[in-house]
Amino acid sequence: IAVGHVTWALIERLVTEAIIRFDPERAEADRLKAADQRHFDIGEVTAEGQVYVDGLLDAADGRDLDEAIAREAHNLGQLGDDSSLDVRRSKAAGVIARRDLMLDLETDDRTETGRKVTLNLHITDTTLTGANPVGRCEETRTPVSAEQIREWLQAPGTSIIVRPVIDLADCIPVTAYEIPDRHRRR
């Protein structure tokens, strides 16, 4: 459903952005209230030996979990598992869980890869003064508060790459057959 040339999804994003920008106290209270609704449940075992999984995660945690499961499902395929991608993803969750159970959590010398975050920053005079508390989540194109971004970046083991916003009007020629990383990011 669209109103004129604006979709309802865009209207909702604009309203969310306006709340973050003009009523940051309410936005932060709403964010913290929503964070209290997070859960992760494993259901009862079915007669066929399966369980349902249901959860509501922080967006960054959900992305990390999805990436870990996708990577493990890909590895299973590379190792010869010819199950469908959905089945390999469900198997991957079990592989990740068993790997975690094997870790000796009492030692501090285990290697953690952690979250990898790439920030595309557009710095303006309002950013420097703190007058613009709104960021954007690339995957969903939704506005997020600066406080939420700060929380995501403080997760243990997080590595951060800071890049400037890409000027899509700029023309950078390529003389090689392979696509350079700067073009992939565009």
Q: Where in the chain are the domains?
A: 2-36+114-185, 39-102
pLDDT at 110: 47
Taking only the tens place, the pLDDT of each residue in 64-119 is 999 999 999 999 999 999 999 999 999 999 888 888 766 655 555 445 556 677 77
Say what the pTM is. Answer: 0.62
d(CA 38, CA 17): 22
Taking only the tens place, the pLDDT of each residue in 111-157 is 555 667 777 666 555 654 666 777 776 666 677 777 777 777 776 67
pLDDT at 43 over 80: yes
